[in-house]
Amino acid sequence: MSAELKAEIDRVRASGVIGRRGRLVDLFEYLAKRTLEERPPKEAEIAADVFGRSVQLDAEDASIRVYIHRLRKKLEEFYLREGDAGHGQLILPRGDYAFVLERAVPVAEADAMPAQAAPARWLWGVLAACLVVILV
């Protein structure tokens, strides 16, 4: 268990962005607990444990995925409003039911990225020079 991940879960929880009660809060708390225990649940487990449904999920029932989508949107809303405070962002990757702490690319690394693209600019320069020679 990552202390940073737990701290970010606590920060999102304390913000109230998910709400104070209801299914979305229950889903957040369930996923937080299972993430911190390093036991990501399956969709059927979420249906049974959070929504009180039969473990035998009907393939046509998309309500769990709808709530997961809403939770992702609430997290996006939180980070748009509050920022990541240098800790990274709590995300729920598509197709997964466990939170991940995603770190922003540090400024030093972001500044280094254009330098990696320099060979591509050099290639375009060579191609432009060749074109000029051919056309002249």
Digit-coded pLDDT (tens) for 81-105: 887 777 788 889 888 899 998 876 5
SS3 sequence of the chain: CCHHHHHHHHHHHHHCCCCCCCHHHHHHHHHHHHHHCCCCCCHHHHHHHCCCCCCCCCCCCCHHHHHHHHHHHHHHHHHHHHCCCCCCEEECCCCCCCCEEECCCCHHHHHHHHHHCHHHHHHHHHHHHHHHHHHC
Digit-coded pLDDT (tens) for 63-76: 888 999 999 999 99
Digit-coded pLDDT (tens) for 15-58: 989 888 899 999 999 999 999 999 999 888 888 889 888 766 55
**Pick among 3.10.450, 1.20.144, 1.20.120, 1.10.10: CATH of 3-104:** 1.10.10
Beta bridge partners of residue 90, listed in sequence order: 101
pTM for the model = 0.70
